[in-house]
Amino acid sequence: MIRWSPGIARQGLVECHRESSGLMSQDDGGQVLPDDFFASLVEKVEDVIWAVGYPHLQLEYLNPAAVTLFGRPVQEFKDDPHLWLTIVHPDDREEVAASHECLLQQGKTERRYRILRPEGDVVWIHDRAWLMRGADTEPLRLFGIARDVTREMAEQQRLSSTLMLHRRFMESAPDPIFLVRVQPDDTFVFRYNNPAHRLQTGIPLEALRNQTPDTLLDASQAAAVKAHYLECVRLSRPVQYEERLDLPAGVRDWQTMLVPVEDAAGKVIELAAIARDITPLKEAERKSRGAFESLDQLLQASPVVIYECQPTPELIPIYISSSVERLTGYARSELLGRPAWQALLHPDDAPVIMDKVKAMLAGEGPIQLNYRLRHQDGHYLQVQSEKRLICDEEGHPVKVVGAILDITLSLRLSQRLEKLAEQLPGFIYQYQLSPEGKGCFPYASPASLAIYGVTPDELAHSDEAAFSTIHLDDQAKVKAAIEASAETLTHWHCEYRVIPPKGHQLWVEGSATPERLEDGSVMWHGYISDVSERKRLQLELEESEARFRRLATVDMLTGAPNRRHFMHCLEAELTRVKRHEVDACLVMFDADHFKRINDTYGHAAGDDMLKALVSTGREQLRTPDVLGRLGGEEFAILLPDTSLEGAVTLAERFRQAVAVMQVASDDASIRMTISLGVAALSAKDTSDSAMERADKALYAAKTSGRDRVCRESDSTGEATIG
């Protein structure tokens, strides 16, 4: 054992005090604590305390907590000065080594990194280190404190994953979702709205964030909204209601659900809301309105502008849906009956567009157009439009009908996605397989280098470099999945391992949609992502589920099989008795005057007595015997291949062992006795009848004075003292 110098203890802890604690030292004007206080302190703390001499970095001290944290004897670190860095996770060693220079330069450092235990477990530690100088200010030693933060890191990762899942859910939800912060004075401030809410309400996040109902809505609507919010806060439970709001996207009927979010003290601090556009339903309820007005209201919520025009090159509108104002900034009254459309076209697009309109009017069929349309404020929108000439039965033009859709955002997103593909951690690709079985990647994003260790240029000519990195045990599976997808043109999905040339093993997940090309080859459009962390969590979850399945059969206090599992074992044994006509017995027992033990010594002492009772019982039983806890202080023992006489003998031996058993509780030594009832199982038994007979024998033991064994009579069925 490396001895701890009290001088090092005092000086090291004083340095720690100056950094982060409240310990007193002589320099701080407090009372000097004795040396043995520091020695005792560092030997008992759960954190690892270490000291290394400088400049030879020879370990001077490592407290016993290191054995628990690192899984190695302290002497191993003394014998090998480089062992500490050796057990650091390979991915963290360079950073940990670099922190040593920081420690020498700045006099202190703080770091988090992983270590590897001998059995292969990975442990996260938080290490704080300081440089101690001598009287001549020259470096004297390095010392520090390390603690296990594995659970903290796992919780951070779980929380981060959960928050990301929540964010993804809200971002991808088809229904509008928004969050409202509840202020201390019971006022409300909007904090967030998801893309569906922004799209369906016309309120961008920037315009909604930090606004109140009064700033976003008119007075009457704001008052109604705040009343619903106050009701949800007051009731502290979900509230559902319907409302009609006039928002930038138009007047809509909404069905809204408010869910209160409480803090640790139970105070509502936020409202999470999900809304659904029920305008079509509400419109159906308002039957008194005319068909045209109803249609107009429905179109008002649509992002598509629907219109009818005169069948002339000027395309003078005779009807425009009210959503035109949202699209162009012009009220439809400013456009109806006026030849305004041509004037709104971008000058560079107008000639081509007008040529296509003339061709349509000449009877060459519907046209689809993509062009730029000027907004009222001067900027241009990228729109997609379809126009169709409607003729009467004699072929005379009647009108032109069409629709305009703003695709500005879609176009921008498409352009951004192209750039984003270069930054995504996953691998976006096209994979082509010829009829001869030769494969290549006509397109691969730069992330192919991170997944396969192969550049997009290399993959464009052949898939061999990519397939060579797939784990040998998984190559056949991947190829079989590709062949099956190519044959049936069904979606391809596969999880497998890859080992890049200069990296460690990864778990990846691939997903792609196939299509057959004219030359007979198959082209997949897909995405491959690194799912190593998810796979690790999945494997850990599977292990946890196995442990939980075991816990479901075990009594948590005593470790004995619980009632459910014991009854399952009894049913199985009764089946064996009926099928093979073998001997078996059931023993039921409970603790005598157990309530007196709880009342006198407390429930904790009672729990200790039950655990000791089960432990003593196991010492008396054979491997196939089953001792289970039925509930409270009531237990049962299943004895396969045991005659009634043998069961009585075992029960008596158990009773005697319990009678001499003692359990310490504070200053007292507690003893107890048990009463037991024994019954032989027969082919006619059910689990209920067997339990009833054994319980009847137990009752006889209790009524005849306790601390004894009674068995079911062979002749009368009555319980007798064994």
Query: 604 and 667 share a domain?
Result: yes
pLDDT at 28: 47
Query: 353 and 459 share a domain?
Result: no
Can you read off the two tokens belonging to residue 643?
A: 């005659």
Closest CA relative to residue 470, chosen from 452, 494, 444: 452
Query: 702 and 558 share a domain?
Result: yes
Q: What residue numbers bound the domain in which 445 lies?
A: 424-535
Q: Of all residues in the chain, what percent are helix, strand and coil, respectively (each to 5)?
A: 40, 30, 30
Query: 612 and 578 share a domain?
Result: yes
Q: Is residue 383 part of a domain?
A: yes
Domain termination site, one of 251, 282, 313: 282
Query: 130 and 182 share a domain?
Result: no
Kindly report the CATH number assigned to the domain that includes residue 41. 3.30.450.20
Kindly report the CATH number assigned to the domain that includes residue 609. 3.30.70.270
State the Cα–Cα distance between residues 81 and 89, nearest whole angstrom.
Answer: 17
Domain termination site, one of 382, 411, 440: 411
Query: 603 and 710 share a domain?
Result: yes
pLDDT at 501: 83
Name the pTM for this structure.
0.33
Q: Is residue 571 part of a domain?
A: yes
pLDDT at 32: 58
Q: Is residue 28 part of a domain?
A: no
Please state the φ and ψ torsions of residue 22, each to the nearest 5 degrees: -115, 15
Query: 41 and 106 share a domain?
Result: yes
600 in helix, strand or coil?
A: helix
Query: 581 and 704 share a domain?
Result: yes
Q: Is residue 236 part of a domain?
A: yes
Q: Is residue 102 part of a domain?
A: yes
Q: How many domains does the chain have?
A: 5
Query: 232 and 105 share a domain?
Result: no
According to DSSP, the residues that pair with 144 across neighbouring strands are 50, 129
Tell me: the pLDDT tens digits for 555-574?
A: 989 999 999 999 999 999 99
Adjacency order of strands within the sheet including 719-721: 626-631, 634-640, 584-591, 674-680, 709-712, 719-721
pLDDT at 447: 82
Query: 617 and 473 share a domain?
Result: no
Query: 316 and 447 share a domain?
Result: no
Asked if residues 153 and 106 have their Cβ atoms less than 8 Å apart, the reply is no
pLDDT at 290: 54
Question: Which portions of the chain are predicted below pLDDT 70?
Answer: 1-35, 38, 163, 286-301, 413-415, 417-425, 546-551, 714-722
Tell me: the pLDDT tens digits for 276-290?
A: 998 888 887 765 445
Domain termination site, one of 386, 411, 436: 411
Q: Is residue 666 part of a domain?
A: yes
Which residues, in sequence order, are CB contacts of 29 under 8 Å at separation 6+? none
Q: Is residue 224 part of a domain?
A: yes
Tell me: the pLDDT tens digits for 524-559?
A: 999 898 888 888 888 887 777 766 666 678 998 999
Asked if residues 237 and 260 have their Cβ atoms less than 8 Å apart, the reply is yes
Query: 403 and 441 share a domain?
Result: no
Q: Is residue 10 part of a domain?
A: no
